[in-house]
Structure 1
Amino acid sequence: MTDSASEIIIPPTMTKRIKLSESENEDRLGDLPETVILHILSFLNAKQAVETCVLSKRWKDLWKRLPKLILCSDDYGTYKIFTKFVSKVLALRDSSIALQALDFKPQNGRSHMVKRIINYAISHNVQQLGLYVNGHITEIPSKVFSFRTLTHLKLSIYPGINRETMFPKSLNLPAITNLQLEHFTFCVGDDDRAEPFSNFNRLNSLVISKCTVRGGRHTLYISNATLINLTIYDDGYNFYKINLCTPCLCTFVFTGIPYHRLSGCNASSLKHVDIDADLFSYPDDPPLFLFSWLLEFANIKSLTVSAATLQVLSLVPDLLNIKLPSLVNLKSLRVIIKPLEYGFRKRLCDVKLRKVKSKKKAARLRKAFEKGLEPSPLVPEGIVDFLLQNSPSAEVDFIDKEMLARRARSL
């Protein structure tokens, strides 16, 4: 085995281009302290970090001392090349340097190297671990669920269509502060409750993506005395109730289709809510669930909603005539303005068409949709005043995402 990964993974043309760039430009990065350079390199994936070894003699072995490894197969032509690269990096990395974080995302979620990656991470006392694989949870070594020094865990296990990944019932992760889960099913126990997070005594941030509940009354109890931030992503037809027993919860973020009944959200600790809602074209549940959430958010101080969220909310019958009993302490309302995707506009149009009794109105609605004129306006009339009816002095900001993106590109 050679002593430099660059001999295998960096094409000659890349080497020539980088060396020419070095001779033509002042090496400002090279003058920085090594700790600063390593911090900068830690934001790159491993392939990009290794490629810097040809910049100069000083850079030759810097990548070997990285405290963070991001192993993603997106930049490789074949999975075989990626696995060869990963093996090389693990073999050549300076093992005397503490490994703080490791993210592993193989091509198409293949789990071929998962055991080796986990063994390497655990042997180096990694604190932050991210795994994104397809397959069965049994392919993940059980030791990852009893890793006592782990503080951050991102775990996405996709078992395939019409299959489920059951969340482990027994976990021993006493140091966990940040937990991100994707494609998991939480099972109800003998007490008719799915309550998977109550034993995490240091948990601050929880992200649940595309998860569901099986058994009993389909209720997910998020009970945790230390949880501060909760984020949920769900773009499918996953109906279940979420009961929050989180006395320290400060921020709640939701993206997707609101098919969940929330309860317990009116705790005085909850201050910030951010919602980007979607909907299906056939049921009426999402608008009603979304409205019920507003009733739970009694004491929040800031609310961020997308234009799509307001479109979904506007589907609630006679919404503007409803007296809202909540949002009495609102200080800030932020409306994110961004173009509605075609699929969303189509689903929204389908919902509206079902409510139109006149054929002429239906025809006009279809024609407006085909021309891209529906929905109009982007923010439904009167809906901002509806949200502010109990907090008329709250500051309102309309944030145009496209304009911000254009400004960023022009800098």
Structure 2
Amino acid sequence: MKMPSRNNNIDENKDRLSDLCDYLLIHILSFLRSKIAVQTCILSTRWRNLWKQLPFLSLYSSNTLPRLSEFASQFLSLRDGSTSLFVLKFYNFCNEGFMEPHILDKILQYAISHNIQHLHIFLKCDIQHFPSCLFSCDTLTSLRFNVTPIRYDKPKILFPNSLNLPSLTSLSLGFIAFRGGPDLFLAYPRLKRLEIAHFEILGEENLCISSTTLVGLAIEFSFEPKNNRKIELFTPNLCAFTFMGTPFQILFGNPLSSVKHIEIHADIRWSYAEAPSILLRWFLEFVDIESLIVSSNTLQVLSLVPNLLRVKLSSLRNLKSLKVKRDELSHRLSKILIDANLAQLPPRSENEAARLQEVFKVGSSSIPDEMINFLLQNSTSKEFHIIN
């Protein structure tokens, strides 16, 4: 059978990609790092100036910051100044060196003057190196701010209280210090999602998170508290709560009937005897959870509560989805579990401690069956999964 001949009018070598409109080509370039996107200018004359219209700038450094600074300066000086710069991602994974203040100021001033909306900053820097206009930018909708001081012997960066970001809907803060008090988050009238991680609370007051618009809150806490400061929540419309780290005092200042989705990855990283009881208190304070994700370590921490199996968790009465995620036991938690089990057992053979060490060895991902049964018996969930 004779195969149909190809249409000779079709040029097989035609560059169909370059025939796409500028909008689609710029959209394709937006998935690349800025340095690679700029390099496409050598493909042909069609691509020579496309990168100059990119609405984003992503800067990643894992070695030398001077070269990154030079690239950023050239990028901003050559791009089309009439094009808005909606997204700026600035990541420095270099252990040594820091961004020169005048370069940082130039980049941020440029971004703010070109309608920046999404700003991600992971840098080693000092707070005074940031231009004041950053903290009063009326176009910024999303801010991820993870900044460590230039010298490790300095305290954490103190996040400023006097901010005015009226369009901000998503805020992520890491490796910083808060000055306690009630007014910090009142400057964000549209804030919907908040993440805080690896933080400290300074001063004599608790950290108050007060927002009527907040629907999602994520907290990661891995440092030993240096004082008795707590977090107080006044978030009547909070829908999703995520926690990772060692449980500490969080005071829920309003009924939690609005919280439907909970995810907890608890651990004990230091000698904190109250952590299991605090974790249980959280479960008791939630009212009507619909989906719950917990790690295997969370169940191990919860199992340390005396007479836990007698407790009734009414918050799980309408649970629709339960997922347990396997994770590795930390050294501290494994030791606590061994000591707790030995304390509950009468004197036995010398092999008892060795057996427990094998059960609760560091790196294991065992999920206690009694804890699974405890959760299922307290809930009506028809969907249960163990995930890795």
| Same fold, judged at TM 0.5 (above) | yes
Which structure 2 residues correspond to residues 106-255 of structure 1 after superposition, within 5 A? 106=92, 107-108=94-95, 110-112=98-100, 113-159=103-149, 160-188=152-180, 193-217=181-205, 219-238=206-225, 240-255=229-244
Looking at structure 1, the residues matched to 288 and 274 of structure 2 have their Cα atoms a distance apart, in angstroms, of 25
Looking at structure 1, the residues matched to 21 and 383 of structure 2 have their Cα atoms a distance apart, in angstroms, of 44
Looking at structure 1, the residues matched to 276 and 31 of structure 2 have their Cα atoms a distance apart, in angstroms, of 40
Q: 1:244–1:262: 8 Å Cα contact kept in structure 2?
A: yes
Aligned to 1:352: 337
Change (3 A) 1:59 1:208: same
Is 1:385 the equivalent of 2:377? Answer: no
Please tell me the residue identity of whatever aligns with 2:240.
T
The 3-state SS of whatever aligns with 1:309 is helix
Is 1:55 the equivalent of 2:43? Answer: yes
The 3-state SS of whatever aligns with 2:220 is strand
Looking at structure 2, the residues matched to 334 and 228 of structure 1 have their Cα atoms a distance apart, in angstroms, of 21
Q: 1:194–1:213: 8 Å Cα contact kept in structure 2?
A: no
Looking at structure 1, the residues matched to 65 and 187 of structure 2 have their Cα atoms a distance apart, in angstroms, of 38
Looking at structure 2, the residues matched to 265 and 391 of structure 1 have their Cα atoms a distance apart, in angstroms, of 23
Aligned to 1:34: 22
Shift in Å, 1:325? 3.3
Count of residue pairs brought into register by the alignment: 363
Structure 1 residues 247-295: Cα deviation after superposition (integer angstroms, max 9, x where no partner)? 2211111122222334236422211111122222533232222211111
Change (3 A) 1:351 1:28: farther
Q: Which residue, 69, 72, 79 being the options, matches 1:93? A: 79
Looking at structure 1, the residues matched to 325 and 24 of structure 2 have their Cα atoms a distance apart, in angstroms, of 35
Please tell me the residue identity of whatever aligns with 2:116.
V
Looking at structure 1, the residues matched to 310 and 158 of structure 2 have their Cα atoms a distance apart, in angstroms, of 44
Q: 2:232–2:253: 8 Å Cα contact kept in structure 1?
A: yes
Aligned to 1:16: none
Looking at structure 1, the residues matched to 61 and 43 of structure 2 have their Cα atoms a distance apart, in angstroms, of 23
The 3-state SS of whatever aligns with 1:298 is coil
Q: Where in structure 2 are there 5+ consecutive unaligned residues?
A: 1-11
Please tell me the residue identity of whatever aligns with 1:307.
S
Which structure 2 residues correspond to residues 270-349 of structure 1 after superposition, within 5 A? 270-280=259-269, 282-337=271-326, 339-340=327-328, 344-349=329-334
The 3-state SS of whatever aligns with 1:103 is strand
Among all aligned residue pairs of Structure 1 and Structure 2, give the percentage whose two residues are the same amino acid.
43
The 3-state SS of whatever aligns with 2:46 is coil
The 3-state SS of whatever aligns with 1:126 is coil
Shift in Å, 1:203? 0.8
Aligned to 2:3: none
Please tell me the residue identity of whatever aligns with 2:234.
C
Q: 1:265–1:296: 8 Å Cα contact kept in structure 2?
A: no
Q: 1:53–1:63: 8 Å Cα contact kept in structure 2?
A: yes
Structure 1 residues 354-394: Cα deviation after superposition (integer angstroms, max 9, x where no partner)? 22144542232235556x7x857x21112123223332344
Looking at structure 1, the residues matched to 314 and 82 of structure 2 have their Cα atoms a distance apart, in angstroms, of 59
